[in-house]
Amino acid sequence: MSTASLLDIPLPPRRPVDSVMASRRADSFGKRSIKASSKDFALRLAVTMTDLTTLEGKDSPEKVRSLCRKAIDPAPALSRALEAAGRAPIPSVAAICVYPNLVATAREALAGSRVKIASVATGFPSGQFPLDLRLDDVRRAVGEGAHEIDMVISRGAFLAGRYAEVADEIARVKEACGHAHLKVILETGELETLDAVRFASDLAICAAFAAGPAADGDVFIKTSTGKVTPAATMPVVLVMLESIRDAFEATGVRVGMKPAGGIRSAKAAIAQLVMVHETLGADWLQPHLFRFGASTLLNDLLRQVARLNRGGYAARDDFSEA
């Protein structure tokens, strides 16, 4: 892509991060004492915020159909037991996340449900494909029925200081999304410093807004693809939340957040929710503004709900893997 083809997108100012204080504050969120009733609420809320994900080379239509069944009804036997005891059943997850070629399969399997379809277009996970191919990938996924697009930025361009190029690709992908929402994956494990994470977050938000007016939840920033470690560490997520907070104060638009990669336990998920509440407020504690990108988290959430409501842990194989 030539420099002349770049859109004229103003770059955000750099905001240095106190990494020591960010780490200390982030660590504090995992030490909160939570009552059993609040924990049950938080676990169920986390289920509704989960993007149930399969992004493997061996993915098949049948695996995606199985994933969709679990997305709609994550734990049928547990839900029946809860309803028999006069309690609410387990809710559906927020979305399933699949490769573009499996979006149509997911659309058919999820027909009539409230579960959204997210697709990792734009040359996931490397982001190294030519821009025109990535844009075609986005349009095709949206045309097949994707409600949300999880794009990955070109980290090579970002780390080389070609920020205008990164901003340009984000704005063009946002435009290609049409009515679909956009989640911008920063791949924070490759950005090296919290200063870089903060600048990439600000850049992603500014670029997405440059593509046109945005409503609450139209744009998310996301930590990672799940293919690189470290991923959604607490300090990284905190810095990204602070970028979202500052964007809201400047524009009045609520940007969403999606930590992904490495969040495998209910305890870790609840710590993230506490951090969101204390950094952004209760408005962000809903699926259209906060998501977990997870392939293994859901079953631990279900096991913890079962423990709270039945007095004992469910076996690991009580819940399906897909």
| Domains of the chain (ranges, CATH numbers) | 33-315 (3.20.20.70)
Q: Specify the 3-state DSSP secondary structure of 6.
A: coil
Please state the pTM of the whole predicted model.
Answer: 0.93
Of 150, 168, 202, 218, which one is the catalytic site residue? 150
What is the 8-class DSSP label of residue 1?
-
Q: For this structure, is 58 an active site residue?
A: no
Active site residue 150: yes
pLDDT digits (tens, 9 = 90+) for 73-126: 999 999 999 999 999 999 999 999 999 999 999 999 999 999 999 999 888 988
Q: Which of 70, 116, 174, 222 is catalytic?
A: 222
Report, as an integer, the average pLDDT of 175-191.
97
- Residues 54 and 227: their CA atoms lie apart, in Å, by 12
How large is the average pLDDT for residues 59-80?
Answer: 96
Among residues 116, 202, 258, 300, which one is catalytic? 258
94: nearest Cα among 290, 299, 296: 290
Give the start-end residues of each E strand in 237-290.
256-258
Q: What is the pLDDT of residue 132?
A: 94
Confidence category of residue 4, pLDDT binned at 50, 70, 90: very low
Contacts of 161 by beta carbon, 8 Å cutoff, 6+ apart: none
3 state SS of 296:
coil
Checking if the pLDDT of 295 tops 60, the result is yes
Q: Catalytic site residue 258? A: yes
Q: Band of the pLDDT at 313, cuts 50, 70, 90?
A: low
300, 265 Cβ separation under 8 angstroms: yes
* Distance separating alpha carbons of residues 240 and 291, to the nearest angstrom: 14
What is the distance between the alpha carbons of residues 133 and 314, in angstroms, rounded to a whole number?
Answer: 46
